């Protein structure tokens, strides 16, 4: 856990610029470098929750430009909870494949992943509120029907009507994770031979060194390969390289 910059307050009415959307129960507004979430509770009281964008971005892989505008691209689930859930939004119903009635009043430890559940007691303590502690977790979330998603969860707590209340944001980053994994493949493997490239080889060697394992590095060169490219064309040269890589790979596995 660590300190965070969540803002959390109750509102009797919505800000002027959002009044046209007052019939909704969940609104998101981007304000400079912060996301503001407006949640309407059953008693018509609005809660405004602010979270810095960097809190989201710095806990995701940062080498993908797709994350630059995460506020507009990623669905968000919202939970307010004490020992039990007191509020959930529509997206959470879809994410968990449960009705809102089934989610609300459920023990929060049964709704959030076990890794988070173990730390909720401290989060919901007076110390947790005063230190503005936050829990951040990225991992797989499997729905009852077997659909697997990658979810980023950021949770904190605050005092709401003299009672400590937890706040959890659930970001579905499945598409972003898939994109970044594909980008990793592109940057780590040769497009012609589909073998690990120099960057991936160095990563592999560093891993072996950390494990203090013995290894051997060999270098293979094809003499005068330029003759193939010059006389038969680059496409033929690529086919030769690919076939050579396949044969060498088979030899090494014997």
Say which range, 64-68, 179-183, 238-242, has the weakest mean pLDDT.
Answer: 64-68
Q: 80 with 174, same domain?
A: yes
Domain final residue pick, 158, 178, 198: 178
Same domain, 167 and 211: no
Mean pLDDT calculated for residue range 31-59: 70
Please give the average per-residue pLDDT across 125-140, as a whole number.
Answer: 85
Nearest Cα to 92, choosing from 40, 168, 148, 176? 168
DSSP-derived letter for residue 6 is -
What pLDDT is attached to residue 107? 93
Q: Give the DSSP letter of residue 8.
A: E
Which residues make Cβ contacts (< 8 Å) with residue 23, sequence separation at least 6? none
Tell me which residue range forms the domain holding 242: 189-253
Do 239 and 153 share a domain, yes or no? no
Average pLDDT over residues 116-141: 85
Predicted pLDDT at 3: 45
Domain end (from 159, 178, 197):
178
Whole-number pLDDT of residue 178 = 66
Q: How far is residue 14 CA from its own chain's centroid?
A: 30
Statement to judge: residues 169 and 200 lie in one domain: no
Average pLDDT (198-220) is 81
What's the CA gap between 105 and 181, in Å, rounded? 37
The answer to whether residue 43 is domain-embedded is yes
Question: What pLDDT is recorded for position 125?
Answer: 92
174 and 195 belong to one structural domain: no
Return d(Cα 99, Cα 250) in angstroms, integer.
53
Say if residue 165 is in the same domain as residue 88: yes
> What is the distance, to the nearest Å, from the Cα of residue 199 to the centroid of all Cα atoms in its chain?
25
155-181 pLDDT tens trace = 888 877 678 888 888 888 787 666 666
Q: Do 216 and 143 fall within a single domain?
A: no
**What value, to the nearest 5°, has the Cα angle with vertex 154 and ends 114 and 37?**
135
Helix (H, G, I), strand (E, B) or coil at 110: helix
Per-residue pLDDT at 57: 53
Same domain, 35 and 117: yes
- Is 173 in contact with 60 (CB distance < 8 Å)? yes
Is 135's pLDDT higher than 70?
yes
What is the bridge-based pairing of β-strands 148-160 and 163-172?
antiparallel
Closest CA to 183 of 15, 47, 62: 62
Which two tokens mark 241? Answer: 């390289």
- pLDDT(66) > 50: no
Q: Name the one residue in this structure whose structure tokens are 């709704």.
A: 111
How far is the CA of 80 from the CAs of 77, 123, 139, 157, 184, in angstroms? 10, 13, 20, 9, 36
- The overall average pLDDT reported for the chain is 76
Same domain, 75 and 171: yes
Q: Are residues 90 and 114 in the same domain?
A: yes
Do 83 and 106 contact (CB within 8 A), yes or no? no
Assign 58 a pLDDT band (cuts: 50, 70, 90).
Answer: low
Tell me the torsion sign for CA atoms 236, 242, 244, 250. Answer: negative
CATH number of the domain at 170, please: 3.30.450.20
- As a whole number, mean pLDDT of residues 186-211 equals 78
**For 15-38, what is each residue's pLDDT tens digit?**
777 777 766 666 767 777 777 878
Same domain, 64 and 173: yes
Give residue 62's pLDDT band: very low, low, confident or very high (50, 70, 90). Answer: very low
Domain presence at residue 15: yes
Residue 184 lies in a domain: no
Does any domain span residue 17? yes
Number of domains in the chain: 2
> Does residue 26 sit within a domain?
yes
Instruction: Evaluate whether residue 183 is within a structural domain.
Output: no
Q: Show which of 178, 198, 223 is a domain's final residue.
A: 178
Identify whether residues 223 and 128 lie together within a single domain.
Answer: no
Residue 232 forms part of a structural domain: yes
């Amino acid at each position: 856990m660590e300190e965070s910059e969540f803002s959390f307050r109750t509102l009797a009415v919505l800000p002027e610029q959002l009044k046209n959307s007052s019939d909704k129960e969940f609104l998101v507004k981007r304000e400079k470098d912060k996301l503001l979430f407006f949640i309407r509770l059953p008693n018509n009281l609005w809660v405004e929750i602010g979270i810095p964008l960097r809190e989201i971005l710095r806990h995701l892989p940062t080498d993908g430009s797709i994350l630059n505008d995460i506020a507009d691209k990623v669905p968000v689930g919202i939970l307010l909870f004490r020992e039990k859930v007191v509020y959930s939004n529509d997206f959470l119903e879809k994410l968990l494949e449960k009705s809102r009635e089934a989610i609300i009043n459920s023990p929060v430890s049964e709704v959030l992943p076990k890794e988070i559940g173990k730390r909720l007691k401290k989060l919901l303590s007076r110390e947790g509120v005063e230190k503005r502690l936050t829990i951040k977790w990225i991992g797989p979330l499997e729905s009852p029907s077997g659909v697997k998603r990658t979810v980023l969860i950021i949770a904190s707590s605050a005092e709401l009507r003299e009672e400590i209340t937890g706040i959890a944001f659930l970001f579905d980053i499945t598409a972003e994770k898939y994109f970044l994994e594909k980008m990793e493949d592109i940057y780590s493997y040769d497009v012609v031979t589909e073998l690990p490239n120099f960057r991936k080889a160095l990563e592999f060697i560093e891993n072996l060194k950390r494990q203090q394992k013995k290894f051997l590095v060999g270098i293979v060169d094809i003499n005068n390969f330029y003759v193939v490219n010059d006389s038969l064309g680059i496409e033929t040269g690529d086919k030769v390289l690919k076939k050579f890589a396949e044969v060498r790979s088979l030899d090494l596995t014997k």
